[in-house]
Amino acid sequence: MKAFTTLTSTAAALTHHDRLMANVDTDMIIPKQFLKTTEREGLSQGLFYELKTRADGSPDPDFVLNKPAFQSAGILIAGENFGCGSSREHAPWALLDQGITCVIAPSFADIFHNNCYKNGILPIALPYEVCAALAEQAGGANHKFTVDLERQIITSPDGEEIHFDVDEGRKASLLEGLDDIGLTLTAEETIATFEKGRKATTPWLEPATS
């Protein structure tokens, strides 16, 4: 996993009728027809497919990520309960493939939130009013934001510094780009000991074939 330390980038805001969109679900982030891949790469073509294309498949110029100013945005700003629905990790993979490594929203759904950390994406939860204020600055002339994970500070285009909270353990993993599996395998003996105890106390959980 690639580490996340600092990010300086433009930000794209997902809005509907002048409000940050709430409940952006994973079907919306990447619809089902793009899940039939055996790769992690190339999924940006499906990112927000039904929002970014018209029914005939042509790009919708009004969709934020189709606008030249936001095409290379590394930050996404959205409304409450972002990433609800399916567990598909294709959602963070599609964001990553698009170059988005930070999502700012008032709240996140559990599985998506977890999947972000496994892919070097930083989800930042801030009150709706703060997200909305950041979204307003996203369209300004000098519209680059800086996200500094070590300091837990977002510097807005207006130069305002906004503190955000992040779990210490998650922060350490992101900063170092740690491989979870490698880390767990160092506890192999502890797992093996647990398995012995499990076999003794709940023997029926061992399949008859083993």
- In the complex, the residues that contact other proteins under the rule CB under 8 A are 16-17, 19, 21-23, 25, 27-28, 31-33, 35-40, 50, 55, 79-81, 84-89, 92, 107, 109-111, 114-115, 118-119, 167-169, 172, 180-181, 183-185, 187, 190-191, 194-195, 198, 202-205, 207, 209-210
Min CB(155)–other proteins separation in Å: 27
The helix (run of H) or strand (run of E) holding residue 28 is helix 26-29
What lies within 8 Å, CB to CB, of 191 at 6+ separation is 184
The helix (run of H) or strand (run of E) holding residue 209 is none
Min CB(209)–other proteins separation in Å: 6
Min CB(25)–other proteins separation in Å: 5
What distance in Å separates the CA atoms of residue 122 and residue 115, rounded to the nearest whole number? 10
Considering the complex, state which of residue 159 and residue 169 has its C-beta at the smaller distance from other proteins.
Answer: 169
What distance in Å separates the CA atoms of residue 14 and residue 135, rounded to the nearest whole number? 9
Considering the complex, state which of residue 86 and residue 156 has its C-beta at the smaller distance from other proteins.
Answer: 86
What distance in Å separates the CA atoms of residue 98 and residue 101, rounded to the nearest whole number? 9
Q: Where are the alpha helices (DSSP H) in 71-178?
A: 90-98, 110-117, 128-138, 168-176
Min CB(124)–other proteins separation in Å: 16
Cα 61 to its chain centre, rounded Å, is 24
Considering the complex, state which of residue 26 and residue 156 has its C-beta at the smaller distance from other proteins.
Answer: 26
Here the tokens at position 23 are 């409940």
What distance in Å separates the CA atoms of residue 86 and residue 70, rounded to the nearest whole number? 27
Considering the complex, state which of residue 151 and residue 198 has its C-beta at the smaller distance from other proteins.
Answer: 198
Min CB(123)–other proteins separation in Å: 13
Considering the complex, state which of residue 95 and residue 157 has its C-beta at the smaller distance from other proteins.
Answer: 95
Considering the complex, state which of residue 131 and residue 156 has its C-beta at the smaller distance from other proteins.
Answer: 131
Min CB(34)–other proteins separation in Å: 9
